[in-house]
Amino acid sequence: MPDSLTELTIHEAHDLLRSRQLSSVELNRAYLERISRVDPEVKAFVTVTDELALEQAEEADRLLAQNGASPLTGIPVLVKDVICTRGVRTTCSSKILENLIPPYDATVVEKLNKCNAVLIGKANMDEFAMGSSTENSALFPTHNPWDLSRVPGGSSGGSAAGVAARETVYALGSDTGGSIRQPAGFCSVVGFKPTYGRVSRYGLVAFASSLDQIGPLTQDVTDCALVMNAIAGYDRRDSTSVPQPVPDYTQYLNGDLRGLRLGIPKEYFVEGMQAEVATAIKAAINQLEELGAEVDWEVSLPHTPYALAVYYIIAPSEASANLARYDGVKYGFSYQAPSMWESMEKTRQYGFGAEVKRRIMLGTYALSAGYYDAYYLKAQKVRTLIRREFDRAFEKYDALVTPTSPTVPFKIGEKVDDPLQMYLSDVCTLPVNIAGLPGISIPAGFADGLPIGMQIIGRHFGEETILKIAHAYEQSTDWHKRRPPL
């Protein structure tokens, strides 16, 4: 057993719980104690569910005593506060939903409950998942455990920081344009965005419905495969869920990359990329080659530069429609005014933050009469071109390898007044969502003590291939074993 219980991965904790060397109550008490110690600095949590966690831990111990355990039984999970949890506050880090308590669980939470996982809390995020730094939370910014003066990435910054700071064993996030992978890269953890339709979105508060996807943030790739085994699969309550068989992802973590062909798209090594990031990613790709993969450095995806513009038309357009439901009538914050229209206007004025209002206005403009064809329709056509370009690449390659982000984590406040610079933080991750592909970010090095992430992109429903590549690389390095100096 390690010196600290909060150093355990899912698979290590499961072995100790199953052999009765450790109880779930002991494990969760250790995490709750660590949260009380380090979260005042990190601020990963919106809500700590301490009483619920200990109740669930006691139930898990009863199951473990009867050998009725799954790999996730009794192990604490932090859930991004955009995913509905019955009886537990779900705020989307917005004032408009500050006191919302959902009457139902999201499908992914139901699936974790069936595994008898322990909900230890809800994670801070950019409001309604709109942001790249978790500075857009209406509640408070989250800090990067590697350097508390820097951002953890976003919008799943609380989830990534919570895992990196060892305040939870693993977490769930959502990814609309890189919101799992970019913070995973910034916090030196594993972040996985499945194929669109692989994991149910039922109970995920919608930002951009054709782009959003739920996925895990974990300490290593084995844990990532275990969580995917639990949460993936068809759900009739989600009209975009795909009835595709789900393999046992852990069976593919065998370390053999011989015969796999990897493409390195040159457009992802963008102008302005930090030199140390490019150096680290090239070294990581060379390592994959040493592990037996065939690498082609001369790959071109020429429509990649248009992905940023396409995303910032499609995502705000869908957001402007999705967020119209927050009118102060049915639920959430409501401003009382003499007339219905004034009440609705003031509810949205005071309930939404600046970034959310900015994106609603962008989207409403793009969908308005006279502009729909020029913006939204054109963006959808370019989206098709980007997707076809990826399809052609995957006729030749098993996976594509890129940086996760062009820089290491930046200072809190550094980009907050420059939305375009902030949007460029996701330039490497956005095309994956536009095409609906699976992608993973894994730790790949450090520059001046700050994490660097490598992204591996797979073909549709090719999660097992990118997990296999990620696991082989991870096992040949020790980046994932390093801990922030908290």
Active-site positions read 80, 155, 179
SS (H, E, C) the chain: CCCCHHHCCHHHHHHHHHCCCCCHHHHHHHHHHHHHHHHHHHCCEEEECHHHHHHHHHHHHHHHHCCCCCCCCCCEEEEECCECECCECCCCCCHHHCCCCCCCCCHHHHHHHHCCCEEEEEECCCHHHCCCCCCCCCCCCCCECCECCECCCCCCHHHHHHHHCCCCCEEEEEECCCCCHHHHHHHCCEEEECCCCCECCCCECCCCCCCCEEEEEECCHHHHHHHHHHHECCCCCCCCCCCCCCCCHHHHCCCCCCCCEEEEEHHHCCCCCCHHHHHHHHHHHHHHHHCCCEEEEEECCCCHHHHHHHHHHHHHHHHHHHHHHCCCCCCCCCCCCCCHHHHHHHHHHHHCCHHHHHHHHHHHHHHCCCCCHHHHHHHHHHHHHHHHHHHHHHHHCCEEEEECCCCCCCECCCCCCCHHHHHHHHCCCHHHHHHCCCEEEEEEEEECCEEEEEEEEECCCCHHHHHHHHHHHHHCCCHHHCCCCC
Cis status of the peptide bond prior to 317, with omega within 30 of 0: no
Q: Pull the structure tokens for residue 334.
A: 């409501």
- Taking a C-beta distance cutoff of 8 angstroms, is the pair 317, 363 a contact? yes
